[in-house]
Chains A and B, each alone.
Chain A
């Protein structure tokens, strides 16, 4: 459990929320 955020599923939520923004920037 060296990476709690990944184990708890936080990383996935964060990446998805950020990616939407990154895609907007590319547009």
Chain B
């Protein structure tokens, strides 16, 4: 009945048995906080994001931070040797993590990362796609949907233009990218459930 944290946002999946549940959570929180701050810094650089109301900026970040992190950290999932690199720098095989209790979520994140990396996007394309992931007008709790929608459309047009210019013979890439959005939503939902269950535990 040992507890493991199979999220790569941890230094390692091993949990110190002498720590209380609260201490374990605090340590985990300490690990993912810098990554969340980086997402906020990224959002601030999206042209037009800071023109949205503060309420909507927070709502978009609350809803989309995990999805942005999945895209940004897709490279932690090494599809070839089936390993995951944790923040501490150590790699763990899928089999090892499976024995520690990982399941559907980690497998799904592997599949997602593999398909995303296979598209061979440049850093600029990946950044613009990440902005599209974050600025979604159908997130709950938005007070000015029209403004978010306008920014979302601008970003999607820019992404399509960039992809079309960089990959003139691969018109399906843009469509494939847009199809990644519902995949990310599903991962987000499963992740939230598991994380909340862990925190309660």
A-B contact count (CB 8 A): 46
Q: Once the chains bind, are A14 and B36 in contact (CB under 8 Å)?
A: yes
Sorting the interface of chain B by its residue count into under 10, 10 to 19, 20 to 34 or 35 or more gives: 10 to 19
Asked whether, in the complex, the Cβ of B63 is within 8 Å of the Cβ of A18, the reply is no
Q: How many residues of A contact B (CB 8 A)?
A: 18
Q: Interface readout for B58-90 with A: 1 if CB under 8 Å, 0 if not?
A: 100111010000000000000000000000000
Task: Pick the residue among A11, A13, A18 that contacts B33 (CB under 8 A).
Answer: A13
Distance between Cα atoms of A18 and B195 in the complex (Å): 24
Nearest to A14 among chain B residues (CB) is B61
Closest to A21 in B: B44
What is the minimal beta-carbon distance from B154 to any residue of chain A, in angstroms? 21
Q: Name the B residues within 8 Å of A17 (CB-CB).
A: 36-37, 40-41
Point out residues on A near B: beta carbons under 8 Å: 1, 3-11, 13-15, 17-18, 21-22, 25
Known pairs A6-B62, A13-B36 / 5 extra A-B pairs, C-beta < 8 Å: A4-B192, A14-B40, A15-B58, A17-B37, A17-B40
